Amino acid sequence: MNRRHIIFRVAAGVAGSAAACSAPASFAQGRTLRLVVPFPAGGATDITARALQEPLSRTLGLTVIVDNKAGAGGSIGMTEVSRASPDGMTLGLATLSTHGVNPAVYQKLSYDPIKDFAPVSELVKAPGVLVVNPKLPAENFDQFVKYLKANPGRVTVASAGNGTIGHMWAELFKSTTNTFMIHIPYRGAAPAVTDLLGGQVQVYFDQVASSLAHIQSGRLKALAVSWPQRPEALKDVPTFAEKSLFTNNDPSWFGLVAPKATPAAVVDRIQQAVATTLKDPVLREKLRAQGLFATGSTPGEFGAQIAKEIDKMRRIAQFAKITLD
pLDDT at residue 289, as a whole number: 87
| Residues 6 or more apart in contact with residue 70 via CB below 8 angstroms | 37, 38, 39, 40, 76, 77
pLDDT at residue 29, as a whole number: 58
Ramachandran class of 63: left when φ > 0, alpha when ψ lies in -120 to 50, beta otherwise: beta
pLDDT at residue 317, as a whole number: 96
pLDDT at residue 95, as a whole number: 97
Quick check: 36 and 80 in contact, CB under 8 A? yes
| Calpha distance 194→210 (Å, rounded) | 13
Give yes or no on whether 28-126+252-320 and 128-249 have one common fold.
Answer: yes
Instruction: Write out the CATH class of domain 128-249.
Output: alpha beta
Domain ranges of the chain: 28-126+252-320, 128-249
List, for the chain, all residue ranges whose pLDDT scores fall below the cut of 50.
Answer: 1-23, 26
CATH fold of the domain at 28-126+252-320: D-Maltodextrin-Binding Protein; domain 2 (3.40.190)
